[in-house]
Amino acid sequence: MAEVELRDVRKSFGPVRVIEGVNLTIADGEFVVFVGPSGGQVDPAADVTLNVVTVETDLLAKIQLGMQSGTEVPDVIFSGDIGTTSQLATRGSNYMMDLTDKVSDAKLAEFYPNANSPCYVNGKLVCLRNDLAHMIVWYDAPLMKELGQTVPKTWEEFAVLGAALGPKGYVLGSAVESSPLISYLVSSGCELGVPVEGAQDTLKIDATSAACVKAATTVDTMVANGSLAKTGPFDPAFVALAKAGKVPLMIGPTWFGEYVIKPTYEFKPGTLAAALPLVWDGQAQPITWSWGGGTYGGYTKTAHPDEVLDLLIWASTDVGVQTDAVTMPAHAASAVAWGAKLKADAYYASADVFDVEVAAAAFSHPGYVSLRVNIEDAIAKTVSAAISGGGKAVDALPALQEELVNLAKLNKYQVQ
pLDDT value of position 73? 82
At residue 322, does pLDDT exceed 80?
yes
Rounded-to-integer distance, Cα 48 and Cα 224, Å: 55
pLDDT value of position 79? 87
pLDDT value of position 24? 67
Of 142 and 76, the one with more pLDDT: 142
pLDDT value of position 39? 36
Please report, as a single letter, which amino acid is at residue 198: G
pLDDT tens, 85-117? 999 998 888 899 999 999 999 999 999 999 999
> How far, in Å, are 11, 42, 71, 91, 303 from residue 37 at the CA level?
19, 10, 7, 24, 9
CB contact set of 251 (below 8 Å; sequence gap of 6+):
135, 136, 137, 138, 172, 173, 180, 183, 184, 277, 278
Domains 4-133+291-343 and 135-289+373-415 share a fold: yes
Read off the pLDDT band of 50 (50, 70, 90): very low
Comparing 33-37, 214-218, 319-323, the range with the smallest average pLDDT is: 33-37
Neighbours of 163 (CB within 10 A): 15
At residue 65, does pLDDT exceed 90?
no
**CATH number for the domain running over 4-133+291-343:** 3.40.190.10
Question: Residues 86, 372: contact at Cβ < 8 Å?
Answer: yes
pLDDT tens, 334-362? 999 999 999 999 999 999 999 999 999 99
At residue 203, does pLDDT exceed 50?
yes
Length of the chain in residues, anyone?
416
Strands of 184-319 (E only): list them.
191-195, 202-206, 249-253, 272-275, 295-298
Comparing 52-56, 138-142, 233-237, the range with the smallest average pLDDT is: 52-56
Strands of 151-276 (E only): list them.
191-195, 202-206, 249-253, 272-275
Question: Residues 192, 205: contact at Cβ < 8 Å?
Answer: yes
At residue 149, does pLDDT exceed 50?
yes
Name the packing angle between helices 397-410 and 210-224 (round to 10°). Answer: 130
Rounded-to-integer distance, Cα 128 and Cα 294, Å: 9
At residue 69, does pLDDT exceed 90?
no
Strands of 154-229 (E only): list them.
191-195, 202-206
Rounded-to-integer distance, Cα 123 and Cα 113, Å: 16
Strands of 141-248 (E only): list them.
191-195, 202-206
What are 153's strand-pairing partners?
none
CB contact set of 234 (below 8 Å; sequence gap of 6+):
177, 260, 264
Question: Residues 347, 162: contact at Cβ < 8 Å?
Answer: no
**135-289+373-415 sits in which CATH class?**
alpha beta
Domain map (residue ranges) of the chain: 4-133+291-343, 135-289+373-415
pLDDT tens, 379-410? 999 999 999 999 999 999 999 999 999 999 99
Rounded-to-integer distance, Cα 3 and Cα 326, Å: 6
pLDDT tens, 190-199? 999 999 999 9
